[in-house]
Amino acid sequence: MASSSSQSTLEPPSYVLISHCLTSPSVAGPSTTLSHATIEYHYADDSPHDLLPRTPGEHVLVLDYDPAQVPLPTAQSLSPDLAVQGVKVADAPGAGVTPDEGPRNNKIYVIETSVIPAQTYVSEFMASVVTHLSPVRM
């Protein structure tokens, strides 16, 4: 029989935080804020259209969690102005202290993000459009 600690990492993440790094010319260095994510579970056989933002300005981050994946899950942003810098995994403080109803993933997943300056993604988008619309030269 597997131990509860090995079983706990097989369950989907229950604890997810977003670490958002802001840089500003008026501040000496970058500042980081933590926020709670709204978690929606989607599986491989779900429609990818369910992942698209539902409202203007909504940010969608995808944490691709596979218990067989080593060493860490991957994350990506579906928002053009938000970039994922990495994912950190640690033991969740206080998790597993009280007995719960079944196996649970007692790790905390911190998705590190930063803003992509508007000029950057607009420039990249325009360059992509120009590339695709330019006449083919022979």
At 8 the pLDDT is 42
Tokens, residue 53: 């933002």
Helices H, strands E: what count in the chain?
2, 6
- Contact status, residue 105 vs residue 11, Cβ threshold 8 Å: yes
For the segment 83-125, what is each residue's pLDDT rounded down to a tens digit? Answer: 999 999 988 887 766 666 667 788 889 999 998 876 655 555 5
Q: For residue 73, report the phi and psi dihedrals to the nearest 5 degrees.
A: -70, 165
SS3 117: coil
Length of the chain: 138
Global confidence as pTM:
0.69
Q: For residue 86, report the phi and psi dihedrals to the nearest 5 degrees.
A: 170, 175
What share of the chain has pLDDT > 70, as a percent?
Answer: 66
Instruction: Report the candidate in 104, 11, 6, 108 with the shortest Cα–Cα distance to residue 65.
Output: 11
